[in-house]
Amino acid sequence: MTIRALVFDAYGTLYDVQSVLAKAEALCPGKGEVITQIWRLKQLEYTWLRSLLQEYEDFWLVTRAALDFALQAAEVEPNDAICGPLMENYLHLDPYPEASEALAALDGRKLAILSNGSPKMLQELVRNSGLDRWIHATISIDSVRAYKPHRACYALVGPVLEVPKQDVLFVSSNSFDVVGAKAFGFEAAWIRRSAVAGPATMFGMLRGRAEELGHAPDHTVSALTDLPRLL
Amino acid sequence: MTIRALVFDAYGTLYDVQSVLAKAEALCPGKGEVITQIWRLKQLEYTWLRSLLQEYEDFWLVTRAALDFALQAAEVEPNDAICGPLMENYLHLDPYPEASEALAALDGRKLAILSNGSPKMLQELVRNSGLDRWIHATISIDSVRAYKPHRACYALVGPVLEVPKQDVLFVSSNSFDVVGAKAFGFEAAWIRRSAVAGPATMFGMLRGRAEELGHAPDHTVSALTDLPRLL
């Protein structure tokens, strides 16, 4: 295999979406964990449902709608004082601690992001986190008005990076995204992070587990810094 | 409004998908609740993901794949002794207690089911439960090879029942399904059942809550027996 480009998912792969937990807990004491978990679950559900309904709205609006659901589920009334800071935080997500080191070690290959995020969200996120030092292209699915794992999303990569799909290693910690990348024809690495919430909660039991949808990843690793040895 | 036909969702609306709980608990002591909840969550996720991937498999196979995921999440090895009885139970789900009385009170109008279930699953389910006494047509989405809320599913109703969509009241307890029916153009009633698992668990907090996807239901009721007074 000749991997000429690595394409990364953003949310959950390079950036820790659970890093909003501290702010959620500060704003809604005792409920930060449940709000954060339900927020993420509904955010993904809404991307799939809006794609199926063919009623696309961008990821900022979907993320806000999912937050409204999560807050109400936790019996918190959504208002600007709570939603404002939590949404703002989405533009300043922490990269995983090993992200910079991993990207630096991959320097010399084409590095890109392919994400559900809107162009504005991704632009701010990559700049605010400093990962723009290594990432050559940030590709939003916004132009195809359907979310991953729709194959039209993955098809955006080729024309931008000018590499055939068999030369692309797609990297995601989201197992449905690995399935989509494999179904499209990329080589795929699954970053299998240990459960965030731990197996003590039902949500924790959903994490770090391959989907039963066929299309197994070519590689399963535990951190981004394991990638260079795959090449 | 002149409602000439009522079209019901099956799983969760006429039939209680949580009625497998007792068997799951008997087979996997102490884990029945978590297995049942995760099974249903992943079953729906897989219908949406397979539709988006354009890799349709029928609802029997999707249900089995979701069960495999749920068992492994609960640290139970899937085998025939466990999966056989649980899958078999899906053909013998209990109707909600008020289903017969509600359908009897609607006699005289066209009554149908529109369900994700495969033709074989639905045929057995309706016959085993005795609801075939009132249901005139059982429509599976199988022929369009995409799951609800894809609009092609709802479009199956018109040709079978020979009624225009504005004369159809669609009935579902699944809020994403209400959204799909409304987006298609049906009048829609949401059966908002009280939370099954209670708000004590995160899964309980997801239930009985409208999706933040637009398309509010025309009617929200708490039981099937509330339907006749809407007509």
Identity of the residue in A53, A180, A213 whose CB atom sits nearest the CB atom of B46? A213
Q: Cα–Cα distance between A34 and B103 in angstroms, integer?
A: 39
Do residue B202 and residue A201 have CB atoms under 8 angstroms apart? yes
Which pLDDT band holds residue A205 (cuts at 50, 70, 90)? confident
CB atoms within 10 A of CB A120: 14
DSSP 8-state symbol, B28:
S
Determine contact, residues B172/B178, Cβ cutoff 8 Å.
yes
pLDDT at position B204: 77
pLDDT at position B206: 86
Instruction: List the beta bridge partners of residue B8.
Output: B113, B171
A5-16+94-230 topology per CATH: Rossmann fold (3.40.50)
pTM: 0.96
The pLDDT tens digits for B92-151 are 999 999 999 999 999 899 999 999 999 999 999 999 999 999 999 999 999 999 999 999
Positive or negative, the Cα torsion across A112, A118, A124, A125? negative
Nearest to A153 by CA among A136, A176, A173: A176
Determine contact, residues B138/B118, Cβ cutoff 8 Å.
no
Q: What is the CATH number of domain A18-89?
A: 1.10.150.240
Closest approach of B34 to chain A, Cα-based (Å): 7
Higher-confidence residue: A1 or B162? B162
Residues of A in contact with B150 (CB under 8 A): 52-53
Determine contact, residues A73/B206, Cβ cutoff 8 Å.
yes
The pLDDT tens digits for A140-169 are 999 999 999 999 999 999 999 999 999 999
Count the alpha carbons within 13 Å of A37 in the hemisphere toward its beta carbon.
22
> Which of A57, A213, A215 should be substituted to probe chain B, the one whose Cβ sees the most B Cβ atoms within 10 Å?
A213
Is the per-residue pLDDT at A196 higher than 60?
no
pLDDT at position B200: 58
Determine contact, residues B9/B173, Cβ cutoff 8 Å.
yes
Which pLDDT band holds residue B199 (cuts at 50, 70, 90)? very low
- Among all residues of chain B, which has the CA nearest to that of A36? B202
**Mean pLDDT score of chain A:** 94
Closest approach of A31 to chain B, Cα-based (Å): 11
B195 shares contact with chain A (CB less than 8 Å): no
The pLDDT tens digits for A24-74 are 999 999 999 999 999 999 999 999 999 999 999 999 999 999 999 999 999
B149 shares contact with chain A (CB less than 8 Å): yes
Mean pLDDT computed over A107-132? 96
Higher-confidence residue: A190 or B205? A190
DSSP 8-state symbol, A164:
-
A5-16+94-230 and A18-89 share one CATH topology?
no
pLDDT at position A200: 58
* A9 is known as an active-site residue: yes
Is the per-residue pLDDT at B159 higher than 50?
yes
